[in-house]
Amino acid sequence: MKDTGTHGAGPGGETARADNATVEIETIRVWDPLLRLFHWLLAIAVVGAWGLGKFGPNVMTLHFWFGYAVLGLLAFRLIWGFVGPEHARFGNFLYGPVSIGKYLIHMVRREPSYWRGHNPLGGFFVFVLLGVLAVHAGLGLIADPEDYVNAGPLAREVSTATSRTALAWHATLGWVVLGLVVLHVAAIGFYRKWKGEDLIRPMITGRKTVRKDP
């Protein structure tokens, strides 16, 4: 677990202001193609599943398929978190509370952080989001609304009480997922407008401006 409280590294020969000091920066490839594809496919699957669950047709076949897509993507991310490139690995953004606290103190400064990969707060958010999505989608597999149509594929493998409880928690966590998505979008806006840091382009091109390695 990282708990140094120091910033990550960061176009060769260029300098910029960060943390009230002049730092050298460079633009490098941080996000690999598979991770970027995962990110955008997960966004589509989550939004699709949520929208169809709340506003879709009564027969929720498409909602289920989007949910299966979420589970498949999460399975890929779990594997990629251990065998993928450096910045995709969980160990690269598993920070301790000290690092997260220090980052929170400095994040209000109106300047880019030039952090390599996920910053401590962003890394924590990734774990929360992936965990909530996994539980939410998993509960959908055993949920049964007792309408004989929209039962999860594994609902028969658990008791009626369990499937009803799963249904209730699946509905509740749906709003939690929405809250996390809104928070994610708000954070992107905050970094763009307040800190002058574009978080969207790197997730499209893979290239990010970061502090240069010492």
Entry pTM? 0.88
Residue 175 three-state SS: helix
Neighbours of 96 (CB within 10 A): 13
Decide yes or no: CATH 3.10.180.10 for domain 34-110+117-203. Answer: no
Sheet with 14-18, side-by-side order of all strands: 14-18, 21-29, 207-211
The domain locations on the chain are 34-110+117-203
Count helices and strands in the chain by DSSP H and E runs: 6, 3
d(CA 143, CA 147) in angstroms, rounded, equals: 11
* Regions of the chain short of the pLDDT cut 70: 1-21, 214
Ranges of H-type helices in 148-199 = 160-193
Q: Each residue of 143-178: b (16+ CB within 10 Å) or e?
A: bbbeeeebbbeebeebeeeebbebbebbbebbeebe
**Reduced to 3 states, what is the DSSP secondary structure of residue 208?**
strand
Residue 76's nearest CA partner among 42, 119, 115, 124 is: 42
Measure the CA angle with vertex 186, ends 65 and 119; round to 5°.
Answer: 90
Amino acid 8: pLDDT = 40
In one-letter notation, the amino acid at residue 165 is T
- pLDDT computed for residue 11 by the predictor: 39
Predicted local distance difference test score (pLDDT) of residue 4: 42
